Chain A
Amino acid sequence: MSIEAMPPEDAVRGDVPVLEVEELSVTFARRGEQPTRAVDGVSFSVAAGETVGLVGESGCGKSVTSLAVMGLLPRRGVQVGGSVRLGGTELIGAPDRTLRRLRGSEMAMVFQDPLSSLNPTVSIGTQVTEVLVEHRDMGKKEAVAEAAALLDRVGIPDPTRRLKEYPHQLSGGMRQRALIAMALACSPRLLIADEPTTALDVTIQAQILELLRELVVDSGTALVMITHDLGVVAGLCDRVHVMYAGKIIETADRHDLFARPRQPYTGGLLASVPRLDAGRGVPLTPIRGSARDAIPWAEGCAFAPRCDNAQDDCLTEVAGSTVPLEYDGPGRELRCRHPLTYPAAPAGATASGAGR
């Protein structure tokens, strides 16, 4: 790996996380409609070389969180509150010009649908070299060589020829690689990947996940991985935040999370997924209802209507306060009044999936 792949300021900044998100909230207010709070007091941080996962079902606020971090939400009709700091620099309220500069150089994002994030009328080569010319002050020729090197690095065969091709000439997997190559063009300190493999076949997904894994190890990029796939989280993320209805409801190291989920929602998700290594007929235990049944957090735990552990004090009216996110042992945080409990593990017991 080249030296430029390392963020030069790292030595100076020491332990400051690359990304710090604090009490982030996003409210959509359309005229004539009730405002909706899509993200509600979300806090997390990501250090260099760390992979942090945001998981949850459709509509829980994962994508809105990432768009808010990148400053990509429209200004009109959207209120963003809280704080997002990239290497200590506040991004909320920063001028568009600053955000645009940072997006090219310090932070980058990879989306689920690579076709819609690439310009269909411009060749892959031009799209990658543009980034290099603009953000790394390269000359045209130098940029072309570097672009080919980048495509090669993300595993695109015959890169020089691929540079001349247009997005629709590439397969889904190749497009996603091209997008990752563009995201890497400036060795960003932060990469946000929003369901980067959801649209891909599993064998291609495996290739892309391997690429992201290497990237984090080799260049110390801080990676935020957004996914609904618990299997992807299990294989890739160091720390995991589970979201429900706009809030983080549980945070843990991936081993702890999968071995001993505490939030009934997390436990329910794990019991719902069929596992390739479980036998035929091992029953699945679904969560009842759907994400549509959530109640507003102000009224109580949003998961209460679907929760088997719910009791009266899960409602704000009874308890006098909404359920807070609290310390739950080393490295863990939990938002729940009646969490799942586990008998003290006998010595030597292996922690295997609670979803079995």
Chain B
Amino acid sequence: MTAAGEPLLRAEGLQVHFPIKRGVFFDRTVGHVRAVDGVDLAIDRGTTYGLVGESGCGKSTLGRAVLRLVEPTAGQVLFDGTDVASLKGEALRTMRRRMQMVFQDPLGSLDPRQDVESLLSEPLRAHGLGGGKVGIAARVRELLDAVGLPAAALRRYPHEFSGGQRQRIGIARAISLEPDLLIADEPVSALDVSVQAQVVNLLEELQQRLGLTYLVIAHDLAVVRHISDVVGVMYLGSLVEQAPSGVLYDEPLHPYTRALMSAVPVPDPVVEERRERILLAGDLPSPANPPSGCRFHTRCPWRQETRCDDEVPVLRELAPGHLVSCHWAEEIRDGVLRPKSPEEVAATQGVSVRATGAEGLETDALVQGVDEPIERR
């Protein structure tokens, strides 16, 4: 059944809306946070899809919805051609084994009372894999070796390791069940630069050796560009652009992508001095109350009166594999339209450049990103 040409993972019209509850007993739903609001994407076997965007744009929620750690409000997730929602019992367990997650905070996702040996052998035992005591012990050593930890690590506990080493343990655990897809949510953002590079290299090496497919979620564009074949840029719950990593960097077409890339500092003073910077006005609007029309219109330097405010742009394919959701992508690319300064944008948008969750304080806790790992069985 598994056609080689078929993407390993496909999401279609995926939506995740969280209810905003109010009232003394939080029993009244007063609205919805549209964390993920209609996302289509496909990830080919053995490749890396990088998902970038600013905090709160829905990246983690999308990753969770793929794993069914949160229930999608609408849409489908097809894993290896099968609708994940249709699976039950043993089939669901098998599918879960084939998709694993690596979290941002390795300490929070590892049980502090278990030593490394039991952390790594537990999933094997739970799934009846590894073949008995001897087999499991051998497999655990193999895993340690694969992630570059010494055998002496076996008897030690998570708190005894540095951040980078803990992330290695998290990765060892994720690959222990020989998954096909690894979803890594901010896998290196808690690490020091020198250690970050070790983990990035490890992920790349494992991908080659084990033929893994990755969905890497990160806010750091440079990291994502480095490891991804295809990059998707999210803004307020939707994909605004998707392209092969090199193409996206060479010719970003969506105004948001352009601004995002021009904002990423490059560790080279010569480049920093001559690069063009596109400053954006204001903050990210609240996903509970996204702007009408194009969601980026409140901050967009290229916004055109009325159409951008009223009409939702669709994701269009402008070049092979290069998808953009902007009404004016061609005109912007060809320089027909000129950008406005952030001051002008702010002036025309008036006070509607309000910050996330500024109105209605009670929602603050609800509307903040929830980044703790979720216990999985």
Q: Which residues from chain A sit less than 8 Å from chain B, CB to CB?
A: 57-58, 157-158, 161, 168-171, 173-174, 201-207, 209-210, 228-235, 254-255, 258-259, 268-288, 290-292, 350-353, 355
A280-B226, A290-B164 given; 17 more Cβ-contact pairs under 8 Å = A57-B194, A204-B283, A206-B277, A206-B280, A210-B277, A235-B266, A274-B200, A275-B267, A276-B225, A276-B266, A284-B226, A286-B201, A288-B198, A290-B162, A291-B162, A291-B192, A355-B267
Contact across chains for A202 and B54 when beta carbons are under 8 A apart: yes
Q: How many Å from the CB of A325 to the closest CB on chain B?
A: 21
> Is B233 an interface position by the 8 A CB rule?
no
Contact across chains for B267 and A286 when beta carbons are under 8 A apart: no
Q: How many Å from the CB of B193 to the closest CB on chain A?
A: 5
CA distance A281 to B48 in the complex (A): 12
Q: How many Å from the CB of B163 to the closest CB on chain A?
A: 7
CA distance A210 to B200 in the complex (A): 30
Residue among B265, B272, B277, B361 having the largest count of chain A Cβ atoms under 10 Å: B265
Set of chain B residues within 8 Å of A235, measured between Cβ atoms: 265-266, 269, 272-273
| Docked complex: B158-209 residues within 8 A CB-CB of A | 162-165, 192-198, 200-201
Q: Mark B334-377, 1 if CB is under 8 A from A, else 0.
A: 00000000100010000101011110010010000000000000
Contact across chains for A286 and B266 when beta carbons are under 8 A apart: no
Set of chain B residues within 8 Å of A271, measured between Cβ atoms: 197
B265 contact from A229, A272, A274, A290, Cβ within 8 A:
A229
Set of chain B residues within 8 Å of A277, measured between Cβ atoms: 249, 266, 268, 271
Set of chain B residues within 8 Å of A202, measured between Cβ atoms: 54, 219, 221, 260, 263-264
A233 contact from B223, B267, B270, B346, Cβ within 8 A:
B267
CA distance A307 to B198 in the complex (A): 15
CA distance A53 to B351 in the complex (A): 35
Contact across chains for A292 and B162 when beta carbons are under 8 A apart: yes
Given A203-B54, A274-B225, residue A231 in contact with residue B162 (CB < 8 A): no
B358 contact from A170, A232, A274, A279, Cβ within 8 A:
A170
> Is B229 an interface position by the 8 A CB rule?
yes
> Is B304 an interface position by the 8 A CB rule?
no
Set of chain B residues within 8 Å of A170, measured between Cβ atoms: 355, 358
CA distance A276 to B228 in the complex (A): 12
Query: Nearest 9 pairs between A and B by C-beta?
Result: A231-B265, A171-B355, A286-B197, A274-B226, A230-B267, A206-B263, A272-B197, A201-B54, A287-B194
Set of chain A residues within 8 Å of B279, measured between Cβ atoms: 203, 206-207, 210
Contact across chains for A290 and B194 when beta carbons are under 8 A apart: yes
Contact across chains for A274 and B222 when beta carbons are under 8 A apart: yes
Contact across chains for B194 and A352 when beta carbons are under 8 A apart: no
Given A258-B268, A290-B163, residue A276 in contact with residue B193 (CB < 8 A): no
Contact across chains for A168 and B364 when beta carbons are under 8 A apart: yes
Contact across chains for A268 and B222 when beta carbons are under 8 A apart: no
Q: Which residues from chain B sit less than 8 Å from chain A, CB to CB?
A: 54-55, 162-165, 192-198, 200-201, 219, 221-223, 225-229, 245-246, 249, 259-273, 277, 279-280, 282-284, 342, 346, 351, 353, 355-358, 361, 364
A231 contact from B54, B264, B283, Cβ within 8 A:
B264
Contact across chains for A231 and B266 when beta carbons are under 8 A apart: yes
Q: How many Å from the CB of B376 to the closest CB on chain A?
A: 28
A-B contact list, 5 entries, CB within 8 Å? A171-B283, A203-B54, A231-B264, A290-B192, A355-B267
Please give me the residue from chain A that is nearest to B358 by CB atom: A169
Contact across chains for A171 and B201 when beta carbons are under 8 A apart: no
Set of chain A residues within 8 Å of B194, measured between Cβ atoms: 57, 268-269, 272, 286-287, 290-291
Set of chain A residues within 8 Å of B357, measured between Cβ atoms: 171
Please give me the residue from chain B that is nearest to A207 by CB atom: B279
CA distance A278 to B266 in the complex (A): 10
Q: How many Å from the CB of A351 to the closest CB on chain B?
A: 7
Contact across chains for B361 and A273 when beta carbons are under 8 A apart: no
Contact across chains for A231 and B277 when beta carbons are under 8 A apart: no
Contact across chains for B266 and A275 when beta carbons are under 8 A apart: yes
CA distance A271 to B282 in the complex (A): 34
Set of chain A residues within 8 Å of B272, measured between Cβ atoms: 231, 234-235
Contact across chains for A284 and B201 when beta carbons are under 8 A apart: yes
Given A203-B260, A206-B277, A272-B194, residue A351 in contact with residue B270 (CB < 8 A): yes
CA distance A229 to B271 in the complex (A): 15
Please give me the residue from chain A that is nearest to B225 by CB atom: A276
Please give me the residue from chain A that is nearest to B283 by CB atom: A171
Q: How many Å from the CB of B316 to the closest CB on chain A?
A: 24
B165 contact from A203, A259, A281, A290, Cβ within 8 A:
A290
Set of chain A residues within 8 Å of B358, measured between Cβ atoms: 169-171
Set of chain A residues within 8 Å of B200, measured between Cβ atoms: 274, 284
Contact across chains for A234 and B268 when beta carbons are under 8 A apart: yes
CA distance A350 to B219 in the complex (A): 31
Please give me the residue from chain A that is nearest to B259 by CB atom: A203
Given A276-B225, A290-B165, residue A283 in contact with residue B201 (CB < 8 A): yes
Set of chain B residues within 8 Å of A268, measured between Cβ atoms: 194
Please give me the residue from chain A that is nearest to B221 by CB atom: A276
